[in-house]
Structure 1
Amino acid sequence: MNTIALFGNPNTGKTSLFNKLTRSYASVGNWAGVTVEKKVGTLRDKSALLVDLPGAYSLHPLSLDEGVTSQFLIDEPPASLINIVDASQLERNLYLTVQLLEYGCPMVIGLNMIDVARGRGIFIDEQRLSAELKVPVLPIIARSGQGTDALLQQLVDLPSKDNKTKRSFRLDYGLIVEDTLLTLAAAIQPTLPERTPQYVRWVALQLIEGNPVVEQYAYSLLSPDWIGQQLESCCTRLAADSEDSTPAEYLRRIRTQWITHLYNLTADHSRAGSRTLTEKVDAVLTHPLFGIPIFLFMMFAIFKLTFDWAGNLLADQIDALIAGPVSSGATSLLQLLGASTFTQGLIVDGMIAGVGGVLVFMPQIAILFLMISLVEDSGYMARITLLMDRMMEYVGLNGKAFIPFIIGFGCNVPAVMAARTIEQRRERLLTILLVPLMSCSARLPVYTLFAGVFFARHQAIVVMILYVLGMVVALGLARLLSNSPLFAREKSFFLVELPPYRVPQPLSLFRNTWEKVKGFLHKAGTIILAGSVAIWLLSHLGMQGYGVDMDHSFLAAIGGVFAPLLDPIGFGTWQAVAALLTGFMAKEVVVSTMNIIYHAPTIEGLGAQLSHAFTALQAFSFMVFVLLYTPCLATVSVIRKETQSWKWAGFSILYAVLIAYILALLIYQLGRLLGYT
């Protein structure tokens, strides 16, 4: 089956188009950096595979995710390309288009967001643009699906890659560059007899431009020293003949001049307004004085809705359902089937109680996911990174690092992967190591349980404090680590796409929220279920066999080993230690463990028992420790994958435990000195 590759600048609607053409679902957001690795789907007509690649402004990669695009063109040459461009930002988007045209593969251009462009008074002559570029150009609105059927049909009608009669696109780069291109192409062509001359010319162009991915590819074909000599000669001749300091700057100038000419030929922006609605809203939301307070107020409103206004009511209903009909029904059925006491206890008190104790908090998690999706789809996410850039720069990062931090509020695993969008290696590594300090949704059941018991009147405020605390600790550590010898300073720059504000689509919000909730439910049916079974068995097995008192079980013995270490921070009991140890699998398992240990039929009953086991000060210290201590197993695994080092994965565990202990110790001991209990 043929492969069609989908290219475009960040936030031009690639993933929305991918979903429409394949009838699949991939995460969509109105901000740059949603796609950090390629996604593959089958076209609706089953004619080809469609590959959605990370957004890139150029084939010259500045970050790891952008490197995927160039590598794909070399390793997996597609049968054809789709280049989706933003009609309201056409001139900027055309730079990547030129590079793709030079690749020499059959291509169709999807002129997306034509509604946004027309709303700004910008009108594109699609036919003239198509004639100049020598490829089909189709106006579309990817979010709604308008024009996607025509685009799909155009893909079927595209000429094959081997069609020699197809008109090829070519820019004239002047005598010096063209001579170098001929020399390089003549040497490369015999090593790639199956590739077209235009592809070979593209490889030579990318070499001159300094594309590191193509350089490694070319070095496998020809002598690096010979290539270096040709490029040095080109650079010397250009320096003497033009004002550009490097061949890459020269190529950019030639392309940019041609693109400006093309844009003036094909775009009418004489009716463009002086100030758009987005610019007017940004004057308030990104204001240097009011921007951050508005962001904090928005966060508080989200937590208020999640924990005080809607979440608790729904959670109580689910708790009543699990503790009542589900548990009693399962007990009756097992008794009817003649199941042993052991089997009944394992299923009802282990599986149902353990998993059910976490599912109770699903409404709060779903509401929080919905609110985060709303922020993403509206376009506000990119503005938050802009607001935070000055603060991030002060601590040794840049505003783009804030995007993985925000994603980490949902789940730390995709947040770590989102750090691929950061260009500088040092800042990328720092971000990866600090992301686990963000309060992911897996910690929400712990917060909701303890805040509901000990801080019932101020749940939203307490949970918001924990979220902000995670951010503050991460920024403080960034400042500390960025000045250490481990993280040598690099030249840094901040580039972020500010998309227009859009009214979020209900279907997109529902899908985005459902995908995240589905991930939570999947975890409940796998990791949390397995953890609940293991915890129940350990709590009922001891040296004397099955049925021992829980205080003499293997679980109590394991927890008792570490309990004295946690006594100075307020919760030196084997029950608390056991819950924390199992939380390494997934933070939700902390609640499952407590539900099984305290044998509570309902969350209300568990809360009543916790109110006797903890004081308010101990409870807050416990929540802070859960916020900061070791990342879950899945996060540690993805840190190892992204850093290619077990050293950094181990460091992420050790420093987090140390920071969690120190901060919990300060909170508990200072609280005692001040007379809090």
Structure 2
Amino acid sequence: MEPVLTIALAGNPNAGKTTLFNHLTGARQHVGNYPGITVEQKEGYCLHQGKEVRVIDLPGTYSLTAYSVEELVARDFLINERPDVVVDVVDSSNLERNLYLSCQFLELGVPLVIALNMIDVAEKRGVTINAEKLSARLGVPVVPIIARSGKGVEEMLDAVLAVAAAGIRPQPAFLSYGADLDQALTDMTPDITACADLTAVYPQRWLGVKLLENDEQIVDKTMETYPEAGKRLIARCGTIGQHLQHTLGVYPEAVIADHRYGYIKSIIHQGVVTRKFVADRLYASDKIDKVVTHRVLGPLIMAGVLYCLYTFTFSYSSVPVEWLTEFFALVSKGVDMLLPDGPFKSLIISGVIDGVGGVFGFVPIIMFMFFGIAVLEDSGYLARVAFMMDRIFHFFGLHGSSVMPFIISGGIAGGCAVPGVMAARTLRSPKERMATLLTVPFMNCGAKLPVLTLLIGAFFSDHQARYMFLATLAAWLIALCVAKILRLTVLKGASTPFVMELPPYRFPTLKGLLIHTWERTWQYMKKAGTVILGISILIWAMMTYPQLPDNRAAHYTGLRQETQRTMAADEAGLAEALGRIKTEEAQEKLRNSFAGRIGVTLEQVSRWAGIDWRTNIALIGGFAAKEVIVSTLGTAYSLGEVDPEETVSLQERLNKDPNWNPVVALAVLAFIMFYSPCFVTVVCIARESGSWKWAAFSMLFNTIFAFVLAVAIYQIGALLYLR
């Protein structure tokens, strides 16, 4: 069987790499995480000239120096996995900036094909690129493409197959970095050559350049494997660094970057790029940004976009949500008719259908939300949100780069705190990084969305979009205020400056939007069908066992028999009386269970926030995963259903329950939004901070803060609403 060809798509963020990946692989792709790292790994397959091609979409990165986890992941994959060909996706309208990464691929010596993407955008800006001349200067194939339409992609794949067929690993490019650094690299050669294990993996000169750049990973590996040679190499790097500081006032990495850009400019000026007109006019993106990122209009537009997102989501998802609710109700009724009474029937109906079914019932809302977010992300507007939030973040003592962890964690809607915590690695300042780690869990992640939707739909159904919008604003405001408190107390320190590149606006492709929506929705559904199912069954068991003592079971049996004997003539009254007895027995069974006893014990404290013992059971499950709250509420209110003969949705059950009202719903919403992060997030915080103390602090501080807030809302609301 012919081996599968592996290609890696690399490039700067917003260069169109993911658009190309979606065009190549379509539905033949899956999303996971790199081993041991919560960074998304996309992998798919395509067929070209009868040959199957495995396509890996590497994280977007500006450099191969390990300043961030994305850069580290991309570099390690190229070095350790050794793909047959690397396709460097370059933004043609920003050629000089993008070729900086290309230079590093050449220095690393990987089989390379450069895909000049968005060539149409460059031409609209009056820029013409001679791909043949650029290919000749760099010594690698250069193919113009338009990833959105697929133009030139076949030619790019032809070049990829040609490079792979040659089977020759190119020699690493030799770039000069000036007399001082070139001499230093020559002096370091004997010691680098002695590091045989490292030179077997990395090019020799490339190792020296990384040591001069003070690349943390390379420095650590050198010191671990060859401590004696490592000490001499580090000392030589220190000497040349001091020399450059005294003579030029710069660090070696700055000199290296300058010479790389000089190399790029020398290539571009050799007839590679010609301009039809002077680019002094505002491009379309710049014109839009003058309004969209305006100091006053920008935030107002952002709030309007967010409100429209929620309005779109709840307006168009209501019908499929009703369909799913009716479907699970029919399934529950069918199982009720088919199976005899007993533990197995209770497990299927209360543990599985009412538990997991309640979570699946929100899939249409999640899908519409993710579709809206994909539009904002693929169009380039989400980057503008980060840019505008930078000014606010500095006021609260955070770095502008903290914006993206907040957004990834659910700052717009539907993210996850785990990659948000991991994304904080890009922050250089330890105190800013720690403040970000501790506050990103306050965002309304995808796990909280079903809970928020459930309670808002049950008690504020006429204003769902408005309340979801306010919940998002509240999450941002609370998170920033907590960050400010932390930065003024335990994490004192000055804020560092923030610079980011804004991508041009683009019209998202329908194919790309559908793929992004399905990827995220499928992750949610997969979690509901695996993790949440397991936790739902465990919690069902805790809410079912132990059974009632024999004397109490006998009491209800006798009560039913007595009722049937005395009310035999009144069929309607008999059915109603037996229903009340069944409900009373179910309530006592639930109270007597392990989970019920815990919930009742906690109620002595939680009642100050209006939270009853059954809700306590669900909140305990939320420590494991927030999605479990919905399934546990479904199970708890199914086991203790008010009217066992009537199959109703969980929203209706809560609305009819005497322990619930709009004030209680607001208090519970506040508690769920801000109490302890889920278990996986806590583990990530411990790993990223390097201490379980910060993870424990996050759990305790968040939970105490959330409870105090819930108590305040309930007590004030009770005075105003329940008077």
Same topology, TM > 0.5: yes
* Residue of structure 1 equivalent to 2:305: 298
Task: Answer yes or no: is the 8 Å Cα contact 1:208–1:231 preserved in 2.
Answer: yes
Structure 2 CA distance for aligned equivalents of residues 199 and 386 of structure 1? 38
Q: Which has the larger radius of gyration?
A: 2
Q: Secondary structure at the match of 2:87?
A: strand
Structure 2 CA distance for aligned equivalents of residues 420 and 540 of structure 1? 44
CA distance 1:51–1:315, change in 2 (3 Å): closer
* Residue of structure 2 equivalent to 1:218: 222
* Residue of structure 1 equivalent to 2:578: none
- With normalisation by structure 1, the TM-score equals 0.89
* Residue of structure 2 equivalent to 1:55: 60
* Residue of structure 2 equivalent to 1:118: 123
Give the paired residue count: 662
* Residue of structure 1 equivalent to 2:100: 95
Equivalent residue for 2:710, pick from 631, 650, 664: 664
* Residue of structure 1 equivalent to 2:474: 469
Paired letter, 2:297: F
Task: Answer yes or no: is the 8 Å Cα contact 1:424–1:490 preserved in 2.
Answer: no
In the TM superposition, what are the counterparts of 1:335-350 in structure 2 within 5 Å? 335=339, 339=340, 341-350=342-351
In the TM superposition, what are the counterparts of 1:265-284 in structure 2 within 5 Å? 265=270, 266-271=272-277, 274-284=281-291
* Residue of structure 2 equivalent to 1:11: 14
CA distance 1:490–1:463, change in 2 (3 Å): same
Structure 2 CA distance for aligned equivalents of residues 305 and 626 of structure 1? 24
CA distance 1:423–1:71, change in 2 (3 Å): farther
CA distance 1:198–1:413, change in 2 (3 Å): closer
Structure 2 CA distance for aligned equivalents of residues 623 and 50 of structure 1? 43
CA distance 1:196–1:542, change in 2 (3 Å): closer
Paired letter, 2:13: P
Structure 2, unmatched stretches of 5+, are: 33-37, 554-584, 642-646
Structure 1 CA distance for aligned equivalents of residues 303 and 198 of structure 2? 58
Task: Answer yes or no: is the 8 Å Cα contact 1:36–1:421 preserved in 2.
Answer: no
Structure 1 CA distance for aligned equivalents of residues 689 and 354 of structure 2? 38
Task: Answer yes or no: is the 8 Å Cα contact 1:539–1:550 preserved in 2.
Answer: no
Q: Secondary structure at the match of 1:173?
A: coil
2:94 is equivalent to residue 84 of structure 1: no
* Residue of structure 2 equivalent to 1:32: none
2:461 is equivalent to residue 456 of structure 1: yes
Paired letter, 1:503: F
Q: Secondary structure at the match of 2:658?
A: helix
Task: Answer yes or no: is the 8 Å Cα contact 2:13–2:60 preserved in 1.
Answer: yes
Which of 1 and 2 has higher RCO (CA within 8 Å, sep 6+)? Answer: 1
Structure 1 CA distance for aligned equivalents of residues 656 and 684 of structure 2? 34
Task: Answer yes or no: is the 8 Å Cα contact 2:447–2:627 preserved in 1.
Answer: yes
Instruction: Report the alpha carbon displacement of residue 129 of structure 1 after superposing the two structures with TM.
Output: 0.7
Alignment identity in percent?
Answer: 36
Deviations 1:621-647 (A, max 9, x none): 111111111222333343344444433
Task: Answer yes or no: is the 8 Å Cα contact 2:536–2:631 preserved in 1.
Answer: yes
Q: Secondary structure at the match of 1:303?
A: helix
CA distance 1:545–1:354, change in 2 (3 Å): farther
Task: Answer yes or no: is the 8 Å Cα contact 1:617–1:671 preserved in 2.
Answer: yes
Q: Secondary structure at the match of 1:10?
A: coil
Q: Secondary structure at the match of 1:311?
A: helix
* Residue of structure 1 equivalent to 2:369: 368
Instruction: Report the alpha carbon displacement of residue 17 of structure 1 after superposing the two structures with TM.
Output: 3.3
Q: Secondary structure at the match of 1:83?
A: strand
Instruction: Report the alpha carbon displacement of residue 610 of structure 1 after superposing the two structures with TM.
Output: 4.3
- With normalisation by structure 2, the TM-score equals 0.84
Instruction: Report the alpha carbon displacement of residue 89 of structure 1 after superposing the two structures with TM.
Output: 0.6
Paired letter, 2:94: Q
Instruction: Report the alpha carbon displacement of residue 541 of structure 1 after superposing the two structures with TM.
Output: 2.7
In the TM superposition, what are the counterparts of 1:380-529 in structure 2 within 5 Å? 380-409=381-410, 410=414, 411-485=416-490, 487-489=491-493, 492-529=496-533
Structure 2 CA distance for aligned equivalents of residues 379 and 285 of structure 1? 12
Instruction: Report the alpha carbon displacement of residue 432 of structure 1 after superposing the two structures with TM.
Output: 2.4
Paired letter, 2:631: S
* Residue of structure 1 equivalent to 2:558: none
Equivalent residue for 1:620, pick from 666, 670, 673: 666
Paired letter, 2:707: Y
Structure 2 CA distance for aligned equivalents of residues 74 and 443 of structure 1? 39
Paired letter, 2:156: L
Q: Secondary structure at the match of 2:94?
A: helix
2:596 is equivalent to residue 550 of structure 1: no
Paired letter, 1:568: W
Instruction: Report the alpha carbon displacement of residue 38 of structure 1 after superposing the two structures with TM.
Output: 5.1
* Residue of structure 2 equivalent to 1:252: 257
Query: How well do the aligned residues superpose, as a CA RMSD in angstroms?
Result: 3.1
Which is further off, 125-134 or 491-500? Answer: 491-500
Paired letter, 1:280: K
Equivalent residue for 1:146, pick from 151, 157, 182: 151
Paired letter, 2:372: M
CA distance 1:207–1:160, change in 2 (3 Å): farther
Which is further off, 451-460 or 293-302? Answer: 451-460
Structure 1 CA distance for aligned equivalents of residues 189 and 21 of structure 2? 35
Structure 2 CA distance for aligned equivalents of residues 668 and 47 of structure 1? 61
Structure 1 CA distance for aligned equivalents of residues 255 and 409 of structure 2? 41
Task: Answer yes or no: is the 8 Å Cα contact 1:134–1:169 preserved in 2.
Answer: no
Deviations 1:154-188 (A, max 9, x none): 22322789859x67632333333222222212332
CA distance 1:39–1:200, change in 2 (3 Å): farther
* Residue of structure 1 equivalent to 2:269: 264
Q: Secondary structure at the match of 1:613?
A: coil
* Residue of structure 2 equivalent to 1:534: 538
2:649 is equivalent to residue 603 of structure 1: yes
Task: Answer yes or no: is the 8 Å Cα contact 1:300–1:460 preserved in 2.
Answer: yes
CA distance 1:152–1:549, change in 2 (3 Å): same
* Residue of structure 1 equivalent to 2:623: 584
Deviations 1:9-63 (A, max 9, x none): 22222333344455543679xxxxxx94555556646677554332222223332
2:356 is equivalent to residue 351 of structure 1: no
Which is further off, 420-429 or 513-522? Answer: 420-429
Structure 2 CA distance for aligned equivalents of residues 86 and 141 of structure 1? 10
Structure 2 CA distance for aligned equivalents of residues 533 and 441 of structure 1? 22
CA distance 1:47–1:186, change in 2 (3 Å): farther
Q: Secondary structure at the match of 1:223?
A: helix
CA distance 1:564–1:591, change in 2 (3 Å): same
Structure 2 CA distance for aligned equivalents of residues 200 and 586 of structure 1? 47
Paired letter, 2:618: A
